[in-house]
Amino acid sequence: MNCLLCHSPMIIQPTWSGLFLNKIGPPICERCSKKFEKTDIKEDKAEWIGSIYENSLDGLTSVYQYNEAMKDYLHQYKFLQDAILSKVFAEDMRALLKNRKAIIVPIPMHPEKLKKRTFAHVDRILDDARIPYVHLFEKTADVTQGEKSKQERMNAEPLFAIKPGSTIEKKHYIVIDDLYTTGTTVRHAAKVLKDAGAAKVEAVTLIRA
């Protein structure tokens, strides 16, 4: 088996637990794995105080920092459409979400962007993580939040709407995205869910920029 990132051969020692659970070992080698750095950045809620999004998000968890290795990974996965790379961080997502008593909701791609990219990258990671999810959003705008000023983000029109025919219950929801940059995307999504009746909304992202 070869590493999915550097393609070097990996020697996987089989174990009884791996055989019984149908696990084939890690998708990347130890050398590549060490290039990714876990993050301990805490969410800064201060900049959202006074905005309509102030209490929209009840919690945030991100796994990795946006370092050079992660930039290269995202470029290859999302922009070069190397879909098999969804397996690289699937187990990280599974470890975070498998025991959570919540409804998992991925952030959707705009239809035009989905057509260009050919696959939904967040969905694909969740599929490989064997985490069930539901699509409750439709995207109403295709904009890059990182290019906007703080005030423009505060006053932006909603990025999402609840899909027609969907029912939002008074339950716990977790919004999933790949990259947290300004926090606008997950807060817009959380507010839509809260306004529709959700009791609690958290966000989990693979990366924190």
The pLDDT tens digits of the residues spanning 64-94 come to 999 999 999 999 999 999 999 999 999 999 9
Amino acid symbol at 198 = A
Confidence (pTM): 0.89
Ordered by start, the domain boundaries in the chain are 1-34, 37-208
| pLDDT tens-digit map of 24-58 | 578 999 999 999 999 987 777 788 888 899 999 99
| pLDDT tens-digit map of 116-154 | 889 999 999 999 999 999 999 998 876 665 556 656 766
Dihedral class, residue 131 (left if φ above 0, else alpha if ψ from -120 to 50, else beta): beta
User: Looking at the domain that runs over 37-208, which CATH code has it been given?
Assistant: 3.40.50
pLDDT at 15: 56
The CA-based angle 59-203-113, given to 5 degrees, is: 155
